[in-house]
Chain A
Amino acid sequence: MMSDRPHPILIVVTALVYLFLMLPLVIVVGAALSDTTYLTFPPQGLSLRWFYNIFEISAFRRTIVTSLQIAFLGTMIALLIGIPAAYALNRFRVELPKWLGTLFVLPILVPEIVFGFALLKSFTVGTGAPIFLALLIGHTLIVLPYVVRVISASLASFDFSIEEAAISLGSAPVKTFFTIVLPNVRGGVIAAFILAFITSLNDVSVSLFLTGPGISTLPIQILAHVEQFFDPTVASVSVLLMFLTVAVMAIVERTLGLTFLAK
């Protein structure tokens, strides 16, 4: 069992686990392609009508736009504040206290649903701030840990003496950062962007409380739709989201290789 070749039973279990992981997703794709008005698998006849239906329901159109906006803006803000933080954590490791690194992963440690509720209660209700702003802040914070961790990981293998050499040769620090440091962690930045964007796009727990008149996100809309109608539209939206995921994974695979995600 412990020789290099795993025991056949282990291989069978692994195969079953992967079947368990993949089969439900295959079923969703099948249900999305069905031409019946109810959810069924295998599909009775193939049709793309449920994909058109997504765009005919205005709530889906609206929430897709909101979700993409929030995911993009939230990720950009998280990069803007997270890259300097990750840089400082690595560059000034000796000078900065250890808890600072823990602080930036805190948004993953506290229950998301509690965070969403706290933003609603203390921020939206307390200050009367617009929902869109609260939603944006919530999403920025839940993706911040991914940004800081992924970029820290790529900075960990960067040799800061290169930067010091450039500076001692007269290059301005800010210019040095943009011409020497940043290009070296480009892969990390792309990976952080993608991870953050997908995390934000799929978030339920934080967004749950931060919806209001006219503002909701796609996963929340999907939840509401499933509870009212049990039709293949949701399967089609799901397939659309999966396509997006595949596209994004293809980009990561090309730039970095996916194995880094297991680190």
Chain B
Amino acid sequence: MTARHFWRRNGATGWALTAPATLAVIGFLIVPIGAVIAGTFMDPRGIFAPYISYFNSGFRTTVLFRTLQISALTTIISLIFGFMTAYVVSRAPGKVKSLLIVAAVFPLLTGVVVRAFAWLIILGRNGILNQTLLALGIVNEPLEMLYTQGAVIVGMVYLFVPLMVLSLVGVLENIPRDVLQASSSLGASPVATFWQVLLPLAVPGLIVGAVLVFTGSFTAYATPQLLGGERQTVLATLLQQRAMVSFDWVGASTIAAIMTVITITIVLAMSHIARRINPMAT
């Protein structure tokens, strides 16, 4: 019996090598989250009682819809600007392209707290933007920009535009230039080429980017906490308050379950759509 026989391509070795990571994910991620979700169905008041009380609360349904709205707007804005930027980056000459990618990666690697904090300095009552507007005489008194939905969305777009750019650059680079040139040399207008050739080919990337941004902003905590405060409570900040301030474990678990179900549904639905409409089967 030599080592050679042991190391044959066999499933057992593969399973053994993946076992530690598999057990870690199951034991410390799937089981705890499963337990939290299962716990919401064991309420003495009835099986769906926590959900009924969640949706009976006007405040809590408002928070759910506000979170969905902020995430949707963040995703749309990031898609539009991310796509235009990624297009330019993907067509830039080598050196410039690397520089632009580095410039997009850098904010991405700077933590979310730092990036939300930057907007706190800009949008505050005595912040840079207000000072500038006052100095220019555009406004007579400082605008209340902080703790508004707009502030949260700006902070979120700031978080996610680099992510969108990076996930689209790869996709746009892989679209052969010949295809676009063929389209225009056959007489298609730039607008037609965009709608009928470029956009459909980029759809898989756009969907991946949209999923990343939507789920990311749907579950973000630090940005809405710092820029939205109490006035713009979202699901993540509500979950934290329920658990750590009110010690309402059932309420917190219900929010956790709602967030998990919505996130996973979106990820699965979008990856299903992406697979169906991908014109360049990969």
Contact = CB atoms under 8 A, between A and B. Distances in A.
Contact of B104 (A21, A84, A126): A21
B161 interface: yes
A204 interface: yes
Given A10-B88, A202-B111, A204-B222, A111 B18 contact: no
Which of the listed residues B106, B113, B128 has the most CB atoms from chain A within 10 Å of its own CB?
A: B113
Contact of A111 (B14, B97, B215, B222): B215
B25 A28 contact: no
Contacts, number: 296
Contacts of A198: 109
Contacts of B239: 113-114, 117
Contact of B113 (A87, A115, A204): A204
Contact of A148 (B14, B21, B226, B267): B21
Contacts of B170: 262-263
Interface stretch (B49-57, B133-141, B189-197): B189-197
A195 to B, nearest CB: 8
A21 B105 contact: no
Interface residues of A, number: 96
A233 to B, nearest CB: 11
Interface in A217-249: 219, 222-223, 226, 234-235, 238, 241-242, 245-246, 248-249
Interface string A106-131: 11011111110111111100100000
Contacts of B17: 84-85, 87-88, 92
Contacts of A245: 106, 109-110
Contact of B11 (A18, A81, A92, A167): A92
A137 B81 CA distance: 37
A56 interface: no
B114 interface: yes
Majority SS at the chain B contact face: helix
B4 A167 contact: yes
B69 interface: no
B128 A27 contact: yes
Contacts of B177: 4
Contacts of B161: 17, 20-21
B59 interface: no
Interface residues of B, number: 100
Interface in B62-84: 81, 84
Interface in A89-103: 89, 91-92, 94-96, 100, 103
Interface of A: 1-7, 10-11, 13-14, 17-18, 20-22, 24-25, 27-28, 31, 39-41, 80-82, 84-85, 87-89, 91-92, 94-96, 100, 103-104, 106-107, 109-115, 117-123, 126, 137-138, 140-141, 144, 148, 167-168, 170, 172-174, 198, 201-202, 204-205, 208-209, 219, 222-223, 226, 234-235, 238, 241-242, 245-246, 248-249, 253, 257-259, 261-263
Given A96-B11, A103-B22, A118-B256, 14 more contacts: A13-B84, A21-B162, A24-B115, A25-B106, A27-B122, A85-B17, A110-B263, A112-B219, A173-B4, A198-B109, A204-B112, A249-B102, A249-B109, A259-B97
19 contacts: A2-B180, A18-B85, A18-B100, A22-B107, A25-B118, A84-B18, A85-B20, A88-B18, A91-B9, A94-B9, A117-B36, A118-B29, A202-B111, A205-B221, A238-B113, A241-B111, A246-B106, A258-B102, A262-B169
